Amino acid sequence: MWAKIRAVWVREMLDSVRDKRTLYMMILLPIVLMPVMTLIGPFMTVRQQESLAEEVPVAAVVGAEHLPELVGLIEASGALAIERLPAGADIPALEERLREGDLHLIVALPAGAVDRLVAEQPVEIQIVVEAGTRRSAMAAEIFRALLGRYGEQLVGMRLAQRGLSQELLEPFVVQARDITPRERLAGQLLGMMVPFFVVVWAVAGGMYTAIDAGAGEKERNSLECLIMTPVPGVALVAGKFLAVSTVSFVAVLLLIASTSVSLLYLLPRIIGVTDMISVQLTVGGLAALVATMALFVGLVSAVQLAMSVFSKSFREAQAYVTALMFAVMFPAMYLMFVEETGAALWTYLIPVLNVLLVCREVLMGAAALAPVLVTLGSLVVWLALAFWLAVRAFTHERVLFRT
């Protein structure tokens, strides 16, 4: 029996590696495109920040003569380039320059500002920003920070005149210390991305092999020849199932490897973190991760195979597999952005969700034995059910000749 299962497996693998679509999904996309997709966002952000830092935003100060001390402080900081304008300057014209990006901030200082400060009365300063542009928002932020620093100096002087300490205004001093180990930070980073890739690529990786093994065989009319051989249907399905699982598992492993290298090695260099961050996986954690992934890949492969055999054509199978892809993608995307911790034990019975949770917990070093065991048990049961469905589809004449 094993020799026949092996023959089907080898034939499917041979067919798969000669199929450009499978090679693309199994090797090229995980190794090349996914890391590029992972790194392109941070890379662009860093480039933009560098570009923002290189060019000092320009602020037009209308009525600069009303508060020369503040204007001087801003100029001395070098964080904003100041264009001094007299009171009564044409504000609409300045706003037009702001829209065009020639200016990044307009500040209007009122007449008599110095007198009001001396009288310890508030001074109303108007600022105009184009909040939709990063540079203008940044200019406003810098201006507020410098204004705050100037305000602190004034308040300090006022308190000193009254013989009071500045500490009067600061009853609390907060000293924060982050005890999160670097490994955990790395785990969080991987825990956000890797589970998503695992579940999505478990479907995408072996998609074409699964479609080809069922609907593809129907379209080529080779399925009828195959079932005329003296091999029980369960052995034929087992060989095909092994082939789809192999392709999916290789794709998932390649994806995890390339994503890990991207996130832990390339990303720190792009964002300027010089010390290498690493994940500390225990042997148990690694075993749980691999077992969960392998069973999930098996489950998805069996479901895809059943869908593929049931389909009349390659196109129909593609539609079913795409629906399956979305079905696993939504919970994966949800969990990617939600920090779900301490989920109830029964949630580990639900396929996809349990894989996402276990992968994340293992990578963050927070996995407990009970959820992992419930997950593995649940996946075994679901896998057996899906495999049985695939065998049923493969041995049912109405399904086989549904063309």
Chain residues that interact with other proteins, rule: CB under 8 A = 3-4, 7-8, 11, 14-15, 18-19, 220-232, 397, 400-401
The region, left, alpha or beta by phi > 0 then psi within -120 to 50, assigned to residue 342 is left
Q: How far is the CB of 236 from other proteins (least distance, A)?
A: 9
Q: How far is the CB of 400 from other proteins (least distance, A)?
A: 7
Kindly tell me which of 267 and 400 has the beta carbon lying closer to other proteins: 400
Q: Are 352 and 378 in contact (CB under 8 A)?
A: no
d(CA 298, CA 356): 16
Contacts of 59 (CB under 8 A, 6+ apart): 74, 80, 81, 82, 83, 103, 104, 105, 106, 107, 139, 143
Nearest Cα neighbor of 366 from 288, 296, 313 is 288
Residue 60, strand partner residues? 83, 106
How many residues comprise the chain?
403
d(CA 167, CA 156): 9
Q: How far is the CB of 6 from other proteins (least distance, A)?
A: 8
SS3 20: helix
Q: How far is the CB of 211 from other proteins (least distance, A)?
A: 14
d(CA 396, CA 403): 13
d(CA 396, CA 48): 59
The region, left, alpha or beta by phi > 0 then psi within -120 to 50, assigned to residue 82 is beta
Q: How far is the CB of 7 from other proteins (least distance, A)?
A: 4
Q: How far is the CB of 227 from other proteins (least distance, A)?
A: 6
Kindly tell me which of 24 and 326 has the beta carbon lying closer to other proteins: 24
Kindly tell me which of 42 and 232 has the beta carbon lying closer to other proteins: 232
Kindly tell me which of 213 and 299 has the beta carbon lying closer to other proteins: 213
Kindly tell me which of 116 and 392 has the beta carbon lying closer to other proteins: 392
Q: How many CA atoms lie within 13 A of 282 on its CB side?
A: 11
Q: How far is the CB of 307 from other proteins (least distance, A)?
A: 21
Torsion angle in degrees (nearest 10) through CA of 235, 221, 326, 393:
-40
Q: How far is the CB of 399 from other proteins (least distance, A)?
A: 12
Kindly tell me which of 3 and 131 has the beta carbon lying closer to other proteins: 3
